Copies of this chain bind each other. A is one copy, B any other.
């Protein structure tokens, strides 16, 4: 590798920097070259103390301020989908990761480089493996390798695309298999068996009739959801199936703990076997603890309905919110882009809060 080729110029305009980040591919597990470039660029800045854990890079001001904020963005992207290199068209930067979330990373890198004396200390975290299974997540690796490093912040800003608005907290996720059992038989003598698929109709009809709750927290509505995302039954074309598995995805408000969510879902299907395959709690919005930031960002907070790494910060005791450029519904699409206006607005508002 020719080192100069992947050097990042953090004094460049945020649009130029976003495009440079997009053009340095970093699919999950392959963040090494991008992490190297980020680390090199940050180590050149005398006002930052730089640390590295795996392919995650942490840079901190050490001004002895009364408060410390954390600004985090993940370096990885989903696999490319014919959307490289970057393109700037009609005020939008197109390309792999532009929205999720190299635009947000560019904003954070600009702030790290150009606000040497923020009014509150800042910990910048650029981390790996957000788009893959949770055990590989860079935040988890940092928390394990450097206990206290993340927790010392009083507030975390996660640069998740949120239309340059504030999305507070996040909902929890539970996935479970509801297993309906029957007895096999030849379909020519179906009455000798018990059709698990027929019985699963009652599970699905119950889901259809279910009205998820709308939970108000700090004035934000966390609208829950309970969806069958898969149904599987079938042995052979002439066999009454003896098992039908309905996989459900439950999104629950952060006022429920993971344990409470599990009790809740099991309670909806008391007569069936419910195998919980994953459950992760959400994050409360903590609007009371983000006062000055909320004012600076000038956006009315909304509830975050998807699950994000703000829940990891919540689990560490650090209130967090999602604030980043880009439309979250474009994440992971081949056509993802980030509006230049979002990049500039996010950079300007966070800069104002730090100065």
Contacts and interface: CB of A to CB of B under 8 A. Distances in A.
Contact of A204 (B175, B197, B237, B247): B197
Given A188-B305, A225-B188, A234 B233 contact: no
A306 B187 CA distance: 8
Contacts of A198: 204-205, 207-208, 227-228
Interface string A165-202: 00000010001000000000011111100010111111
A190 B227 CA distance: 7
B208 A195 contact: yes
Given A207-B198, A233-B230, A238-B249, A191 B244 contact: no
A344 interface: no
A5 interface: no
Given A202-B205, A208-B198, A225 B189 contact: yes
A235 interface: yes
A282 to B, nearest CB: 11
A311 to B, nearest CB: 13
A186 to B, nearest CB: 7
A306 B186 contact: yes
B203 A201 contact: yes
